[in-house]
A and B are shown apart, each in its own frame.
Chain A
């Protein structure tokens, strides 16, 4: 590697924005002292993002780093830290001022005001993004169908590059026209308020957030209502989006087929899916979600207040991407969004078919949120829309309704002291608002994935769902111990295999997992399901895996009967 000639190396240390203990800071020091003592002229940038470094600022500024990367957007205390404590004159400040997580055009006046407060010399300042641009789509140039009246307020990765250079140009005195154009944009209102919905949110009462009767009473009513076997089996909702399913959607979007043709194809898929589930012996069925491209985008496209894009993909895991909608204005429901498909699926079978909705917190967290309305108010607007859909499903004979909140955990503030006050105190009520008005016999399910929520189990229980399924298989089911310890009340389906991998779990493997679950969770509280939706999987592996799940469940049921448990 000799003679490569790098000037800087960037070491990403976002863990510093979490709460730090003395031992943490000691470990950080032990790691970096030797590295920084052998730089041999190489400059080292300690890059942080997603928050501020209030616990380690003194340490970072005292160590021999050549540059510090700080987040001035999500870092609530970053500006105060550099102003009150000062910034070492020998270090370069990589100032994260352009939002790497959201897609709104920057207000240059505000950015300039921020930059002017930074106590660093011009040659020690690097204007940067608040985090990697990995979290925003590539470019608005890929969105030719999006009207200019929207686009002028937006900036994706490529446009954010221009924002950085625009600010540099303005600061070097050559950007008067650029600044004036930006000021003109922000001088006018961006959207028209929906007064009905803002009034509705303002008048919410405490009772709107509580479902009656209490959990235990509902559980007894529902047991009679559904009469399900022990260890009821179900899936999380989506079935494989095969090439044909995607082709049907793409043909419809291109106008090559009519809406009726599009719907008819999906009805055939639903029928085959329901037949398949009946054949292999699942207890609670789903319609398969063939009409949905994405669990958030599908709702975003139908609700008022959202903007949707064609190619604004953002990586989620591996090379899998999502296309988050943009919450443009006030959110409102204008029509049924899921009723038709659920009612059709239910008409095909005597087994219960779950209605499938996406919860308000997830819709917020998996969209690009507004910056001119609080997350709490935005989420309550969405919750009221999903509440109306929940009631429409119930009215049309759907008795089990799953309201997915896979993303509930992910926006939990990174510092523990902020968990409730800045998030859970409105996020959990928002979920309750969705189902507070349903009948006692209607069973409300929810699903959460890839989450470590052992530490917020009380809050999860307080969502007051009847059943929750979650991802646990990739985390070795450690969550089970926590459920056991915290006397978790909600009935649970800890996923029995990992759907994010193409591997097929054997019947024996699944039976072993079920046994493990039963060691920790009371039999009557357990549901059996995969750990997430199946849309990303192929049909062959899905069929084989689900057959093994059902066979394993039956095997365990027989053992239980045999043992008289």
Chain B
């Protein structure tokens, strides 16, 4: 018999992530400093969970904003209007989450919905007929490696392909099933490369 948890809170036991992001949005801390805060929070969580004697730890349950958005972002499911802003990857991610109004353009945020029957909200990924699903991100791997370097083999977590398709919005003529083959293809190298 083993023990595990499906995911752990990520905001920080004193909401450190919230305060760090607010500072980042006001440009009083850099992307690197924000990343450093996030890394410390993940480290603290690993310490708490493994310290309590839990056998298997998840990873990639951390997020700057939302894990559904993270999975979409990892797989290049990013509408053109955000890419056209030509922002850094992190700022493009935040533009999807919060909207962007600045010298690079003016776009509203992606839609946000209640996560099932909870008071948590997820960002609704948006597909259109030009959506080119492919593995472009590294977050899930980076966070696995970070834990591995700290001596813990974690169980990476992603929103599964089915739930991802079911929760997304479709702006073009293509339907969820039309994306199934490319989505599988994008997720396969990930599972293949993971271990071999």
Contacts and interface: CB of A to CB of B under 8 A. Distances in A.
Interface of A: 1-2, 4-17, 23-24, 27-28, 30-32, 34-35, 38-42, 44-47, 49-50, 69, 94, 96, 100-101, 122-123, 125-129, 131-139, 142, 157-158, 160-162, 164-165, 168, 171-172, 311, 313-322, 324, 365-366, 407, 409-414, 450-452, 474-476, 498, 500-504
Contact of A1 (B2, B106, B113, B190): B190
A10 B6 contact: yes
B96 to A, nearest CB: 11
Interface centre among B157, B176, B183 (most CB of A within 10 A): B157
A11 B158 contact: yes
B39 interface: no
Given A9-B156, A30-B180, A157 B18 contact: no
A165 B121 contact: no
Given A5-B148, A38-B188, A501-B108, A12 B99 contact: no
B1 interface: yes
B162 A1 contact: no
A31 B99 contact: no
A31 to B, nearest CB: 5
Contacts of B7: 131-134
3 nearest A-B pairs in the assembled complex, by CB-CB distance: A132-B7, A11-B160, A161-B52
A98 B196 CA distance: 34
Given A127-B3, A164-B54, A1 B193 contact: yes
Identify which of A4, A414, A476 gathers the most chain B CB atoms within 10 Å of its CB.
Answer: A4
Given A38-B191, A126-B3, A101 B118 contact: yes
A319 B65 contact: yes
B188 A157 contact: no
Contacts, number: 275
Given A142-B14, A412-B117, A452-B113, 8 more contacts: A7-B155, A42-B194, A138-B9, A164-B54, A168-B3, A316-B119, A411-B117, A503-B106
A158 B48 CA distance: 7
Given A2-B193, A134-B120, A317 B141 contact: no
What size tier do the contact residues of chain B reach? Answer: 35 or more
Given A11-B160, A125-B1, A316-B121, A134 B195 contact: no
B183 to A, nearest CB: 7
Chain A binding surface, main DSSP class? mixed
Contacts of B156: 6, 9-10
Contact of A15 (B65, B111, B166): B166
B161 to A, nearest CB: 5
- The interface centre, meaning the residue of A2, A10, A39, A123 with most chain B CB atoms within 10 A of its CB, is A10
A14 B163 contact: yes
B120 A502 contact: no
B1 A168 contact: yes
Contacts of B196: 2, 40-41
A10 to B, nearest CB: 4
Interface of B: 1-11, 13-15, 17-18, 21-22, 48-49, 52-56, 58, 61, 64-66, 97-101, 106, 108-109, 111-114, 116-121, 141, 144-145, 148, 153-163, 165-167, 176-177, 180, 183-184, 187-188, 190-196
A157 B168 CA distance: 29
A139 B153 CA distance: 24
Chain B residues touching A, majority SS: mixed
Contacts of A136: 9
Contacts of B120: 134-135, 314-317
A165 B195 contact: no
A319 B119 contact: no
A498 B111 CA distance: 10
A272 B141 CA distance: 52
Contacts of B191: 9, 35, 38-40, 42, 44
Contacts of B166: 15, 24
Nearest to B16: A319
Contact of A30 (B1, B154, B157, B177): B177
A168 B53 CA distance: 10
Nearest to A36: B191
Given A13-B160, A138-B13, A139-B13, A161 B61 contact: no
A5 B195 contact: yes
B133 to A, nearest CB: 12
Contacts of B13: 138-139, 142, 311
A451 B114 contact: yes
Given A27-B177, A132-B6, A42 B195 contact: yes
B193 A321 contact: no
Nearest to B17: A319
Contact of B163 (A12, A128, A172, A410): A12
B8 A134 contact: yes
A42 B193 CA distance: 10
18 contacts: A12-B160, A126-B2, A126-B4, A134-B7, A135-B119, A135-B120, A136-B9, A138-B13, A157-B9, A164-B5, A314-B9, A316-B120, A321-B18, A407-B119, A410-B117, A412-B117, A502-B99, A503-B108
A15 B167 contact: yes
B98 A133 contact: no
Contacts of A94: 4, 6
A129 B5 contact: yes
Contacts of B193: 1-2, 4
Contacts of A122: 1
A321 B11 contact: yes
A453 to B, nearest CB: 11
